[in-house]
Amino acid sequence: MKIPLFRPALVLATLLASALALANDSASTTLRFNAAQLQSAAEAGFPMERDLLEGFATLSLRQPKVDIPAPGDRIRLGLEYDVALVTGGKAESGRFTVISGLRYDPATRGLHLTDPQLQDFQAQSSRAGIDAGTRGMVNALMQDYARDRPLYQLTEEDLAQVPGPLSEDSLRINDGHVELRLAPAAAGTR
């Protein structure tokens, strides 16, 4: 019995088309962001100012530096700071770094810090370590930032690349990138 030559070719073409469709579907269900993209968005959110000591001083944060270490499941956010007294004098300046997870908030369509923790603190006026009160103040400030402001806000263009809704569980930090993925059930329902 002769098997027509076109049947194996047809089966092979069907398998190849299915594999390509799966690969294309997988790519369209994941948004990836690198440190440069987060950096650019973070720069737009600074400088940021907060009153301290009931208005006696002002804390200014500027020059964000975003890094996504690989391997790892957290990001690093470095910021320069100045503390200025209401009298106009500069009380302190320096740089600090926090490490943090990220979460996706569907309400803001933003990537927010989650559980930011002070990792490094360098004051220009002192080489001494940071005291517990200052550490607590910086951690509280970054908790407020995490709650109130996204580090990155998804655009309509970003959302158009994913054929379905994203949930709070969608975010992963993987291999030096932030990934937002559709749940498998949502990915199949175009």
Which of 26 and 166 is assigned the larger pLDDT? Answer: 166
What is the reported pTM?
A: 0.77
Tell me the average pLDDT across 12-33. 50
Go through the domains of the chain in sequence order and give each one's CATH number: 36-152 (3.15.10.40)
Nearest 5°: CA angle at 96, between 94 and 110? 130
51 alpha-carbon distance from chain centroid? 26
Evaluate whether 123 touches 94 at the Cβ level (below 8 Å).
yes
Evaluate whether 172 touches 32 at the Cβ level (below 8 Å).
no
pLDDT, the chain, mean:
80
